[in-house]
Amino acid sequence: FRNDFGFGGNNGLTDFKDILGFNVQAEGTRAALFALTCLTLIIAFIICRAVVTSKLGKVLIAIRDAESRTRFIGYRVESYKLFVFTLSACMAGVAGALYVPQVGIINPSEFAPGNSIEAVIWVAVGGRGTLVGAALGAIVVNYAKTFFTSGPLAPYWLFMLGAMFILVTLLLPKGIVGTFNGWRQPLKARQVAAAAASAAREDGVSEPKMAE
Protein backbone atom coordinates (compact mmCIF):
# COMPACT_ATOMS: atom_id res chain seq x y z
CA PHE A 1 0.00 0.00 0.00
CA ARG A 2 2.91 2.38 0.65
CA ASN A 3 5.07 1.35 -2.30
CA ASP A 4 4.20 4.22 -4.65
CA PHE A 5 7.20 3.71 -6.92
CA GLY A 6 6.85 0.00 -7.67
CA PHE A 7 3.15 -0.74 -7.28
CA GLY A 8 1.40 2.62 -7.32
CA GLY A 9 0.48 2.67 -3.63
CA ASN A 10 -3.23 3.05 -2.97
CA ASN A 11 -3.86 3.73 -6.65
CA GLY A 12 -2.46 0.36 -7.66
CA LEU A 13 -1.32 -0.46 -11.17
CA THR A 14 -3.14 1.38 -13.94
CA ASP A 15 -2.83 2.43 -17.56
CA PHE A 16 -2.07 -0.98 -19.06
CA LYS A 17 -1.38 -0.29 -22.73
CA ASP A 18 0.16 -3.47 -24.08
CA ILE A 19 0.82 -7.08 -23.20
CA LEU A 20 3.67 -8.93 -24.87
CA GLY A 21 3.78 -6.13 -27.42
CA PHE A 22 0.07 -6.28 -28.29
CA ASN A 23 -2.24 -3.34 -27.64
CA VAL A 24 -4.70 -4.41 -24.93
CA GLN A 25 -7.36 -2.07 -26.34
CA ALA A 26 -7.30 -3.70 -29.77
CA GLU A 27 -10.30 -5.87 -30.60
CA GLY A 28 -8.09 -8.77 -31.64
CA THR A 29 -6.15 -8.70 -28.38
CA ARG A 30 -9.30 -8.54 -26.28
CA ALA A 31 -10.83 -11.42 -28.23
CA ALA A 32 -7.65 -13.45 -27.78
CA LEU A 33 -7.63 -12.76 -24.03
CA PHE A 34 -11.27 -13.80 -23.78
CA ALA A 35 -10.61 -17.03 -25.68
CA LEU A 36 -7.54 -17.72 -23.54
CA THR A 37 -9.63 -17.15 -20.41
CA CYS A 38 -12.25 -19.65 -21.59
CA LEU A 39 -9.55 -22.19 -22.44
CA THR A 40 -7.94 -21.70 -19.03
CA LEU A 41 -11.31 -22.23 -17.34
CA ILE A 42 -11.77 -25.52 -19.20
CA ILE A 43 -8.27 -26.69 -18.27
CA ALA A 44 -8.81 -25.72 -14.63
CA PHE A 45 -12.12 -27.60 -14.61
CA ILE A 46 -10.47 -30.72 -16.02
CA ILE A 47 -7.71 -30.56 -13.41
CA CYS A 48 -10.17 -30.10 -10.56
CA ARG A 49 -12.36 -32.87 -11.92
CA ALA A 50 -9.38 -35.22 -12.08
CA VAL A 51 -8.45 -34.37 -8.49
CA VAL A 52 -11.98 -34.81 -7.14
CA THR A 53 -12.56 -38.18 -8.80
CA SER A 54 -9.17 -39.61 -7.79
CA LYS A 55 -8.13 -41.25 -4.54
CA LEU A 56 -6.63 -37.92 -3.56
CA GLY A 57 -10.05 -36.34 -3.94
CA LYS A 58 -11.65 -38.97 -1.71
CA VAL A 59 -9.11 -38.18 1.01
CA LEU A 60 -9.76 -34.44 0.62
CA ILE A 61 -13.50 -35.04 1.01
CA ALA A 62 -12.79 -37.10 4.12
CA ILE A 63 -10.69 -34.25 5.52
CA ARG A 64 -13.50 -31.83 4.80
CA ASP A 65 -16.13 -33.97 6.52
CA ALA A 66 -14.11 -35.49 9.39
CA GLU A 67 -10.61 -34.08 9.66
CA SER A 68 -9.77 -35.62 13.04
CA ARG A 69 -10.93 -39.07 12.01
CA THR A 70 -8.91 -38.86 8.79
CA ARG A 71 -5.85 -37.85 10.78
CA PHE A 72 -6.30 -40.77 13.19
CA ILE A 73 -6.49 -43.20 10.28
CA GLY A 74 -2.95 -42.20 9.37
CA TYR A 75 -3.21 -39.58 6.63
CA ARG A 76 -0.97 -36.51 6.83
CA VAL A 77 -3.71 -33.91 6.74
CA GLU A 78 -1.28 -30.99 6.56
CA SER A 79 0.27 -32.33 3.34
CA TYR A 80 -3.11 -32.60 1.64
CA LYS A 81 -4.07 -29.11 2.77
CA LEU A 82 -0.77 -27.77 1.47
CA PHE A 83 -1.45 -29.38 -1.91
CA VAL A 84 -4.90 -27.79 -2.13
CA PHE A 85 -3.53 -24.42 -1.05
CA THR A 86 -0.74 -24.57 -3.63
CA LEU A 87 -3.04 -25.65 -6.46
CA SER A 88 -5.57 -22.96 -5.56
CA ALA A 89 -2.84 -20.31 -5.41
CA CYS A 90 -1.55 -21.32 -8.85
CA MET A 91 -5.03 -21.10 -10.36
CA ALA A 92 -5.67 -17.77 -8.64
CA GLY A 93 -2.39 -16.42 -9.99
CA VAL A 94 -3.24 -17.44 -13.55
CA ALA A 95 -6.73 -15.96 -13.16
CA GLY A 96 -5.26 -12.68 -11.93
CA ALA A 97 -2.81 -12.56 -14.83
CA LEU A 98 -5.75 -12.86 -17.24
CA TYR A 99 -8.04 -10.54 -15.28
CA VAL A 100 -5.81 -7.47 -14.99
CA PRO A 101 -5.08 -6.87 -18.71
CA GLN A 102 -8.78 -7.11 -19.54
CA VAL A 103 -9.91 -4.78 -16.75
CA GLY A 104 -6.94 -2.44 -17.08
CA ILE A 105 -6.43 -1.75 -13.37
CA ILE A 106 -5.51 -3.56 -10.18
CA ASN A 107 -5.47 -1.85 -6.78
CA PRO A 108 -5.81 -2.70 -3.08
CA SER A 109 -9.61 -2.42 -3.27
CA GLU A 110 -9.59 -5.87 -4.87
CA PHE A 111 -8.81 -7.21 -1.39
CA ALA A 112 -12.06 -5.78 -0.03
CA PRO A 113 -14.30 -8.24 1.87
CA GLY A 114 -17.06 -7.71 -0.67
CA ASN A 115 -15.12 -9.56 -3.36
CA SER A 116 -14.55 -12.56 -1.11
CA ILE A 117 -18.22 -12.60 -0.11
CA GLU A 118 -19.21 -12.37 -3.75
CA ALA A 119 -17.16 -15.49 -4.55
CA VAL A 120 -18.98 -17.38 -1.78
CA ILE A 121 -22.30 -16.29 -3.26
CA TRP A 122 -21.19 -17.61 -6.66
CA VAL A 123 -20.88 -21.07 -5.13
CA ALA A 124 -24.15 -20.76 -3.20
CA VAL A 125 -26.09 -19.74 -6.30
CA GLY A 126 -24.51 -22.30 -8.61
CA GLY A 127 -24.49 -25.21 -6.21
CA ARG A 128 -22.29 -26.23 -3.30
CA GLY A 129 -20.15 -29.30 -3.74
CA THR A 130 -20.14 -29.13 -7.54
CA LEU A 131 -17.54 -27.84 -9.96
CA VAL A 132 -20.05 -26.78 -12.60
CA GLY A 133 -22.04 -24.92 -9.97
CA ALA A 134 -19.18 -22.57 -9.12
CA ALA A 135 -18.71 -21.56 -12.76
CA LEU A 136 -22.45 -21.26 -13.37
CA GLY A 137 -22.92 -19.18 -10.23
CA ALA A 138 -20.12 -16.84 -11.29
CA ILE A 139 -21.78 -16.32 -14.67
CA VAL A 140 -25.24 -15.70 -13.18
CA VAL A 141 -24.08 -13.34 -10.42
CA ASN A 142 -21.74 -11.34 -12.65
CA TYR A 143 -24.41 -11.01 -15.34
CA ALA A 144 -26.77 -9.67 -12.68
CA LYS A 145 -24.02 -7.33 -11.45
CA THR A 146 -23.44 -5.96 -14.94
CA PHE A 147 -27.17 -5.53 -15.51
CA PHE A 148 -28.01 -3.78 -12.25
CA THR A 149 -24.87 -1.66 -11.82
CA SER A 150 -25.30 -0.06 -15.24
CA GLY A 151 -28.55 1.66 -14.26
CA PRO A 152 -30.11 3.67 -11.44
CA LEU A 153 -29.93 0.66 -9.09
CA ALA A 154 -26.11 0.69 -9.01
CA PRO A 155 -25.85 2.11 -5.43
CA TYR A 156 -28.03 -0.73 -4.15
CA TRP A 157 -26.12 -3.61 -5.73
CA LEU A 158 -24.63 -4.88 -2.46
CA PHE A 159 -28.08 -4.97 -0.88
CA MET A 160 -29.40 -6.88 -3.87
CA LEU A 161 -26.46 -9.27 -3.65
CA GLY A 162 -27.28 -9.97 -0.01
CA ALA A 163 -30.94 -10.47 -0.86
CA MET A 164 -29.94 -12.89 -3.63
CA PHE A 165 -27.88 -14.92 -1.15
CA ILE A 166 -30.77 -15.07 1.34
CA LEU A 167 -33.29 -16.09 -1.32
CA VAL A 168 -31.02 -18.79 -2.70
CA THR A 169 -30.33 -20.13 0.79
CA LEU A 170 -34.05 -20.32 1.59
CA LEU A 171 -35.52 -21.35 -1.76
CA LEU A 172 -32.61 -23.16 -3.45
CA PRO A 173 -30.41 -24.51 -0.63
CA LYS A 174 -28.62 -26.81 -3.08
CA GLY A 175 -28.12 -24.08 -5.68
CA ILE A 176 -29.09 -24.23 -9.33
CA VAL A 177 -27.13 -27.37 -10.17
CA GLY A 178 -28.15 -29.21 -7.00
CA THR A 179 -31.83 -28.39 -7.52
CA PHE A 180 -31.66 -29.48 -11.15
CA ASN A 181 -30.04 -32.78 -10.14
CA GLY A 182 -32.71 -33.26 -7.50
CA TRP A 183 -35.43 -32.90 -10.15
CA ARG A 184 -33.61 -35.10 -12.63
CA GLN A 185 -32.98 -38.10 -10.36
CA PRO A 186 -36.65 -39.03 -9.75
CA LEU A 187 -37.34 -38.61 -13.48
CA LYS A 188 -34.39 -40.86 -14.31
CA ALA A 189 -35.61 -43.44 -11.78
CA ARG A 190 -39.06 -43.47 -13.39
CA GLN A 191 -37.50 -43.87 -16.82
CA VAL A 192 -35.44 -46.83 -15.62
CA ALA A 193 -38.51 -48.43 -14.04
CA ALA A 194 -40.53 -47.92 -17.22
CA ALA A 195 -37.74 -49.43 -19.33
CA ALA A 196 -37.54 -52.44 -17.00
CA ALA A 197 -41.30 -52.95 -17.16
CA SER A 198 -41.26 -52.69 -20.96
CA ALA A 199 -38.43 -55.23 -21.19
CA ALA A 200 -40.32 -57.58 -18.89
CA ARG A 201 -43.45 -57.38 -21.05
CA GLU A 202 -41.41 -58.08 -24.18
CA ASP A 203 -39.93 -61.16 -22.50
CA GLY A 204 -43.39 -62.34 -21.49
CA VAL A 205 -42.73 -61.88 -17.79
CA SER A 206 -45.65 -60.44 -15.89
CA GLU A 207 -45.10 -58.02 -13.07
CA PRO A 208 -45.46 -59.55 -9.61
CA LYS A 209 -48.78 -58.83 -7.93
CA MET A 210 -49.08 -57.64 -4.40
CA ALA A 211 -50.55 -60.14 -1.98
CA GLU A 212 -54.02 -59.17 -0.88
Alpha-carbon gap, residue 41 to 104, rounded angstroms: 20
The answer to whether residue 208 sits within a structural domain is no
pLDDT of 6 over the 70 cut: no
DSSP-derived secondary structure letter, 24 = T
Check whether residue 86 and residue 137 sit in a common domain: no
103 and 172 part of one domain: no
For residue 212, the model assigns a pLDDT of 45
pLDDT score recorded for residue 59: 93
- Cα 208–chain centre separation: 47
Pick from 157, 92, 173, 148: nearest CA to 118 = 157
Q: Give pLDDT tens digits for 87-109.
A: 999 999 999 888 888 877 777 77
106 in the same domain as 14: yes
pLDDT 10s digits, 109-154:
777 777 788 888 888 888 888 888 888 988 888 888 888 888 787 8
Question: Model confidence over 159-199: pLDDT tens digits?
Answer: 888 888 888 888 888 888 888 888 777 766 666 666 666 66
Report the C-alpha gap between 94 and 100 in whole angstroms: 10
Per-residue pLDDT tens over the stretch 41-55: 999 999 999 999 999
Residue 34 lies in a domain: yes
Smallest CA-to-CA distance from 19 within 36, 42, 44 is with 36
Q: 99 with 5: CB under 8 angstroms?
A: no
pLDDT at position 194: 64
Range of the domain at 41: 1-111
Specify the higher pLDDT residue, 156 or 209.
Answer: 156
Residues 21 and 94 in one domain: yes
At 179 the pLDDT is 83
